[in-house]
Amino acid sequence: MGGRTTALGAAGLVLGLLVAGVTSAEAADPLVSAGKAVTASSIEGTGFEPAKAVDGSSSTRWASLEGQDPQWLRVDLGSAHAISRVRLSWEAAYARSYRVQTSVDGAAWTDVYSTTSGDGGTDDLTVSGSGQYVRVYGTARGTSYGYSLWELEVYGAPSGTPPQPGLGHPFGSRQTPYAAGVLRPSGSTSTLDAKVVDFYQRWKAAFVKQNCGNGWCQVISPDAKFPYVAEAQGYGMVITATMAGADPDAKKTFDGLLKYKLAHPSVNNPDLLASEQDAACRSVNGGDSATDGDMDTAYGLLLADRQWGSSGTYNYRQIAVRNINAIKKSLVNPATNLLLMGDWSTSGNSRQYYGSRSSDWMSDHFRAFRKATGDSAWDTIRVKHQDLIASLQSKYAPNTGLLPDFVQDTNSTPKPAVGEMLERDDTDGTYWYNACRDPWRIGADAALTGDARSLAAARKMNAWIKSKTGGDPARIAVGYQLNGTQISGGSDAAFVAPFAVAATTDPGSQAWLDALWNRMLATPISTNTYFGASIQLQVMITVTGNHWIP
């Protein structure tokens, strides 16, 4: 049998049910599999041992027994690694159907790539996964022979920060692989993570404060109506729990934020957070809740439970479940299964009761709430929001995919808000300072789960903005009509950064993603712009593969 080295065409790949196509971009991580311990399901005979596939020679190879499925080849990297690239050099005996898998223990495996239409040659795959073990698992041969690889090359880097005692999901560990084919900015994982950590440290120094005593921490919001808002505390809880491992004080900061949340309950439901506080940290403006803040505080608590467990000062999981149940009770319209804008919204004001804010529609949060509570209602709620996203894109933004800040008439025929729904009569029905988060929120679910509807929604937005700007992030405007007409000039990280998450879902957008990433790296943190900086930080966490669903 003679070997072939022809390049594998992108059209020849099928990524199962998750994503069609693969990216040709290569991460800059080093080769980590050379000379490592290798085992296999079988060998054809002497001279075809598994070690031949990692010896760096293009003239030696591993070969399995002929005529038998399945067969596999496994390499032990020696320690946990973040895996960014796998390169397979097939001999003529190639796999028609196979999976690339990772494992932390060599027993439980996670697919990071799969195809049912392999055609041999060289498969150079960009993947996102983590583990000590990498396995190529062939399920259908392309010939009557067996399976044979000249080389199995795995590229990656040792997982970020070594786990701290009791830490469940340290930053950089990438224990939750993204969907197959999802992009990541070019560069090694260690370099990308270092950029995130640097931005996080500057963000924390600028916005995380202890201004009111009582052991509280607060995220300050100088560019909001009040100095402390629920949205900011929610961002802070999600961010600090995610950065555990990179920040040795993450738990201390998180507990300070949680203590602040618990000391400021909504007047309508004590398991929700009052949405606004003044400079003295006193709840003002009614003391009721805002949906996005409560969605993120609940999600942050679930992250904390995974990171540190719930046997310490605070039972994170118990508080999270109470928070989640309160969201269902007070922030979900029972007639539509769509989110309300706050627990102040009642049937007495039908316009707002049958209104909703698109930036609250976080499918990854709904999935986490379903998992934490076992309540299947969260599946129904997620699907209803995905239905609404698809309907709005089809009817009102078929060319752009943009969503409005607010919608109305959710009990009949939902449409973009006409006039003022909550904030401004001229922008509540446009892509403005709420909806600017949608490419991030929708794209995060698409990247993590490969959900077909989230992928379609994110890709529509991505295709439009990439074309609209000619691939130049500096041309992303501040606000758009749903038909794509620019509202305002200038540039704002709150509008630029979220499109990077949408870009990760399109295998053809590597250059565009890199341009967005570089734009973010060049954007300074101003102590007066909490909103854009907080969004950008969470986008940077997401596009580097560090976001996860607890």
pTM, whole model, 2 decimals?
A: 0.77
pLDDT of 2 strictly over 90: no
Place of tokens 């055609």: 119
Q: 326-377 pLDDT, tens per residue? A: 999 999 999 999 999 999 999 999 999 999 999 999 999 999 999 999 999 9
Total H helices, total E strands in the chain? 14, 18
Q: 479-491 pLDDT, tens per residue? A: 999 999 999 999 9
Average pLDDT over residues 426-432: 97
- For 507, the enclosing helix (H) or strand (E) is none
* pLDDT on residue 504: 98
> What structural domains does the chain harbor?
10-158 (2.60.120.260), 210-333 (1.50.10.10)
Of residues 284, 385, 377, 364, the one with CA closest to residue 327 = 377
Q: Are residues 424 and 409 in contact, defined by beta-carbon separation less than 8 angstroms?
A: no
- What's the CA gap between 109 and 547, in Å, rounded? 20
- The percentage of residues in the chain with a pLDDT greater than 90, rounded to a whole number, is 85
* pLDDT on residue 301: 98
- For 228, the enclosing helix (H) or strand (E) is strand 228-229
pLDDT of 230 strictly over 90: yes
Preceding amide of 70 cis, omega within 30: yes
* pLDDT on residue 165: 53
* pLDDT on residue 104: 85
Q: 150-176 pLDDT, tens per residue? A: 999 999 988 754 445 567 899 999 988
pLDDT of 18 strictly over 50: no
pLDDT of 40 strictly over 60: yes
Of residues 438, 537, 452, 522, the one with CA closest to residue 480 = 438
* Distances, alpha carbon 360 to alpha carbons 292, 336, 385, 442, 543, in Å: 5, 15, 10, 10, 20
pLDDT of 311 strictly over 80: yes
Residue with the bigger pLDDT between 108 and 184: it is 184
CB atoms within 10 A of CB 467: 12
pLDDT of 47 strictly over 70: yes
- What's the CA gap between 84 and 127, in Å, rounded? 5
Q: Are residues 478 and 495 in contact, defined by beta-carbon separation less than 8 angstroms?
A: yes
Conformation bin of residue 250: beta by default, left when phi > 0, alpha when psi is -120 to 50: alpha
* pLDDT on residue 28: 63
Q: Is 231 a catalytic residue?
A: yes
Q: Are residues 153 and 33 in contact, defined by beta-carbon separation less than 8 angstroms?
A: yes
Tokens, residue 490: 């200038």
* pLDDT on residue 108: 80
Tokens, residue 255: 């507990």
* pLDDT on residue 4: 25
- What's the CA gap between 163 and 407, in Å, rounded? 44
DSSP secondary structure of 65-127: -TT-S-EEEEEEEEEEEEEEEEEEEE-SS-EEEEEEEEESSSSS-EEEEEES----SEEEEEE
* Distances, alpha carbon 476 to alpha carbons 326, 441, 496, 510, in Å: 38, 18, 6, 18
Amino acid in position 187: G
Conformation bin of residue 380: beta by default, left when phi > 0, alpha when psi is -120 to 50: alpha
Q: 241-271 pLDDT, tens per residue? A: 999 999 999 999 999 999 999 999 999 999 9
* pLDDT on residue 25: 36
- What's the CA gap between 20 and 180, in Å, rounded? 9
pLDDT of 36 strictly over 50: yes
Max alpha carbon distance in the chain (Å)? 81
Q: Are residues 454 and 445 in contact, defined by beta-carbon separation less than 8 angstroms?
A: yes
Residue with the bigger pLDDT between 24 and 474: it is 474
* pLDDT on residue 330: 98
Amino acid in position 40: A
Single out the catalytic residue among 44, 292, 364, 405. Answer: 292
* pLDDT on residue 161: 44
Q: Are residues 37 and 75 in contact, defined by beta-carbon separation less than 8 angstroms?
A: yes
Single out the catalytic residue among 193, 231, 405, 438. Answer: 231
Average pLDDT over residues 272-300: 97
Average pLDDT over residues 193-211: 96
* pLDDT on residue 430: 98
Of residues 257, 259, 286, the one with CA closest to residue 344 = 286
Tokens, residue 259: 């203590």
pLDDT of 20 strictly over 80: no
- The 3-class SS string of 239-283 reads HHHHCECCECCHHHHHHHHHHHHHCCECCCCCCCEECEECCCCCE
Conformation bin of residue 307: beta by default, left when phi > 0, alpha when psi is -120 to 50: alpha
Q: Is 472 a catalytic residue?
A: no
- What's the CA gap between 77 and 158, in Å, rounded? 9
If pLDDT is split at 50, 70 and 90, which confidence band does 8 have? very low
Beta strands 37-40; 71-90: pairing state: antiparallel
Average pLDDT over residues 11-38: 54
Which is it for the CA torsion 89, 91, 92, 96, positive or negative? negative
Average pLDDT over residues 131-143: 94
Place of tokens 């439009």: 464
Place of tokens 């009721």: 288
Tokens, residue 66: 């002929």
- The percentage of residues in the chain with a pLDDT greater than 70, rounded to a whole number, is 94
Radius of gyration of the chain from its Cα atoms, rounded to whole angstroms:
24
Average pLDDT over residues 451-465: 98
Distance of CA 329 to the CA centre of its chain: 27
DSSP β-bridge partners for residue 81: 131, 158
Q: What is the mean pLDDT of the chain?
A: 92
